[in-house]
Structure 1
Amino acid sequence: LRFIRRAKALGFTLAEIKELVGLGYDTKTRCEHVRQRAERKVEDIESKIRSLQKMKRSLKKLIATCQATDSIDDCPLMEGIDA
């Protein structure tokens, strides 16, 4: 269970964890196979980070347009999200 919790905390999905566990039972598996999966996970995480940073920049631009004094009908945030 500790392995599963730790792998989950490192960002692995349950399907990926199942694969890792399976590798652990295969005597033909080499450490490089696990490393390759870990490197792919790092690439996935970096891609998600880039996507989140882009979302953050977009949202900050929308926030900058809002004076928070307009009615909801004239809210630039709502208009920006709807665009």
Structure 2
Amino acid sequence: MVMKQEDIAKVRNSVGQQLGSKVMIKLDKGRHRVDVQTGVIKAAYPNIFTIEVESGPDNEAPRVLSFSYKDVITRDVRMMLC
């Protein structure tokens, strides 16, 4: 798969427009393992964006995860608006 600068720019713009939106993310952890979490898009930077993930059932504090726009293009991270 060849990534073009235009593809990254499209994803960056899309994420930037959704700041503050609640999303469900599916993280591909390899070997047919997928982690599904819900969170809010907090910030978008030139190379990465951050999502604050809601606390789990064991009442842990919310975590902030960061992803690159390439993660979305390669489908290592899949996001859907809630």
Higher relative contact order (CA 8 A, sep 6+): 2
| Structure of greater Rg | 1
Asked if Structure 1 and Structure 2 have the same fold, meaning a TM-score greater than 0.5 normalized by the shorter chain, the answer is: no
TM-score of the superposition, structure 2-length normalised? 0.23
Q: Which has the higher strand share?
A: 2
Higher helix share: 1
Name the TM-score, length of structure 1 as normaliser: 0.23
